Amino acid sequence: MNLKTILKKPFEKLSLPYWGIIAIIILAIGSLVPSIAYSGKDGEAYSFLNHAISELGELGVSELAILFNICVFFGALFTLIFFIGLSFYINNIISSIGGIIGVISSLGGVFVGIFPMNYLVPHYIAAMTFFFGGMLTVAVFSIAILFDKEKKIHWIFSLLGFIVVVFFALFLFYPYAETYRVNPALSILYNLFYDRPAFLLPSFFEWMTLITIMIWVGLLSIVFLIKKVNLI
């Protein structure tokens, strides 16, 4: 049994679009429900405008941190399988590269679920693996769609993919403050621990990366479902 056969095994149980749809549902539940129940260290309600995503998984602070972390773990795992399937479906060299990066990025998400922000160093490494990997994954798949000779996926998904990439890049590279030139995304940590304004630009961009990649995967999955796409 070769590697390709092994990697296609999950699609014998569940067709390609369902892996993406279930991943989005899990991540949506893991984001929305804990955010409603959340009460911060100062008793504040959760706001998507000035709280980091990871704060929903902070043990001892977020009331439903366990739910968030479990959902992130399984949501990322389902997304990993979806990216493998997307790679096989497009079936060119570029999509193969996208699949490999997608697996690495999704594993970053899996480890975000294992290491909540209470364990700051491994959490940060896992989160940055997801964010940098996610940006590259969507960019490479968007290029793969454009260069697919069979045009299995409409070019509009390339355009949407590059919009997703823009939000990833804004979160990771926007010059929030001169102090954080080494890695501008670190500025979000400063604001969380020392000063939380009503609107925190890094938090907004961070949420937009998650929301847009979920929309991208979700729309692709719905189209695949309508077209009855499967790999087996």
Provide the residue range defining the domain that includes 174.
Answer: 17-226
| 1 in any annotated domain | no
Q: Which candidate, 158, 187, 97, places its Cα nearest to that of 133?
A: 97
| 9 in any annotated domain | no
pLDDT given at position 194: 54
| Entry pTM | 0.91
pLDDT given at position 197: 78
| 2 in any annotated domain | no
Q: What is the mean pLDDT of the chain?
A: 91
107-117 pLDDT, tens digit per residue, is: 999 999 999 99
pLDDT bucket at 126, cuts 50 / 70 / 90: very high
Spatial contact of 94 and 106, defined as CB atoms under 8 Å apart: no
- Measured between alpha carbons, how far is residue 78 from residues 25, 26, 96, 109, 182 in Å? 11, 9, 18, 11, 33
Share of the chain above pLDDT 70, in %: 91
| 146 in any annotated domain | yes
| 63 in any annotated domain | yes
Specify the higher pLDDT residue, 221 or 187: 221
> Positive or negative CA dihedral for 108, 111, 117, 123?
negative
| 5 in any annotated domain | no
| 184 in any annotated domain | yes
Residue with tokens 């996208």: 98
Rounded to an integer, the average pLDDT of 3-16 is: 91
10 Å Cβ neighbour count for 52? 19
pLDDT bucket at 22, cuts 50 / 70 / 90: very high
Specify the higher pLDDT residue, 74 or 7: 74
145-166 pLDDT, tens digit per residue, is: 999 999 999 999 999 999 999 9
| 93 in any annotated domain | yes
Domain count within the chain: 1
